[in-house]
Amino acid sequence: MHHTTTPSRRTFLNSAAAGLALTAAHHRAMAGTAPSDRIRVGFIGLGGMGTGRLNGFMKHPDVVAAAVCDLDSTHLSRATALVEKTQGHKPAAYHDFRKLLDDKDIDAVMVATPDHWHALPLIHACQAGKDVFVEKPLSYSIGEGRAMVNAARRNKRVTQMGNHIHNDLPNYRRVVEIVKSGMLGKINRVYCSLASGSKGIGNPPDSAPPAELDYDFWLGPAPKRPYNPSRSHLNFRYFWDYSGGVFIDFWCHFTDVAYWALDLTAPRSVAAAGGRWTAGDNAETPDTIEVLYDFPELVLSWTVHPNGRPGYDHMGSSVIFEGTQATLVTNYSKHEIWIKGKQELNFTRPPQSIPDSPGHIREFLDSIKSRQLTTCDVAYAHRLNKGGLLGNIAFRTGERIYWDDAKERIIGNPRADKQYVTRRYRKPWKLA
């Protein structure tokens, strides 16, 4: 398997958007949307992913891009110009997300900041009466995720995590129907695999932060560190202060189908091994990792490696459900069933039981109006995300982690529980 099969967030976002463009009938229905039915959205975090989301939201005729916010003035200027070109008006532009949230005319916000900045904007937005679309992974830490769920529920807000494969491609729905039908037999093993490629991020020296970036604000609750070009913007995910590597970046996309199909909650224990062995750069998170999850009567394993996991190479990065009757392997867009080493081409599919989705962003917008929970709201997002976070805790401690999900605490390891379940925020930031 070659590294060229590595999924790209932008590639799949664009392909999904193209594949699920609004129908002409829906366009006609929405074109005459009354001002009272329009949704005024503020956009917080406008790097590459945030700009993609801005474009995605603006494709919906009932969305008004009312405000943009970023700590990098180049990102802010680019987003402002994009809204002007697309919607014909100049949005309010903010440096501080809290100022954007003070605008009582804004109905909802989209948060596409680095992971360590997901929790506070969502919590403050919920407290300000805004609905929230937040990128995945939901949170930097398990404690943040719990606080986000509590804030959304306490303030009765609609939320959606940007796990767009869940809704923007129909394949996972068909896989879930097959697994739940029982035609694979009893499933005791699930394998998730990411072909991460081997390209590193370089070894630039520390330097002064660029004039256009408010670096201290960008650090926020994370520890104070010297500025390094590798640490900010796209590459933030390779440093423990801000994220958990490509493993946590893709965890939600791939493990989602397993949690969905098998109704998983939380593992009883997690063990991990690996390292940053091939990239030769100044990043911290592993480029090779194996994580093993113990669920009741199920073992789920995760592989991140430049070449992925051997076997089913033609499917690239994938998820494998091994049942007593058959094995199913799926990637984002297609799936196959294998029996005793041979692909089964003529199997009878179960009847469709999961309704088609209007699209991930559209579902969020519709839920703002109906006040119904979305399919990837904060509660589901937290349940899914915590498994990935536990995998990184096991890797960083070098120990098997035993988990009490009712209390959301690590059992028998108070040091790991205190250090990793909820991070200590840098002053003056507080998780509230």
pLDDT at 34: 60
Count CB atoms within 10 A of the CB of residue 372. Answer: 11
pLDDT at 279: 81
Walking along the chain (432 residues) 10 residues at a time, the average pLDDT comes out as: 39 41 39 73 97 98 98 98 97 98 97 98 98 98 98 98 95 98 97 88 94 97 96 92 96 97 97 92 94 98 91 93 97 96 93 96 98 97 98 97 97 96 95 82
- 8 A C-beta contact, residue 132 and residue 152: yes
Nearest to 308 by CA among 200, 391, 193: 193
Nearest to 392 by CA among 249, 279, 263, 268: 249
Cα→Cα distances 156→119, 151, 159, 368, Å = 17, 8, 10, 11
Query: What is the rounded CA–CA span in Å between residue 134 and residue 287?
Result: 26
Query: What is the rounded CA–CA span in Å between residue 331 and residue 319?
Result: 6
The torsion of the CA quartet 364, 422, 101, 70, rounded to 10 degrees, works out to -90
192-228 pLDDT, tens digit per residue, is: 999 988 788 999 999 999 999 999 999 999 999 999 9
Query: What is the rounded CA–CA span in Å between residue 110 and residue 135?
Result: 8
Q: Which domains does the chain have, with CATH numbers?
A: 3-166+363-378 (3.40.50.720), 170-355+384-411 (3.30.360.10)
Query: What is the rounded CA–CA span in Å between residue 276 and residue 335?
Result: 31
Cα→Cα distances 109→55, 201, 263, 278, 330, Å = 14, 31, 29, 39, 33
| pTM (2 d.p.) | 0.90
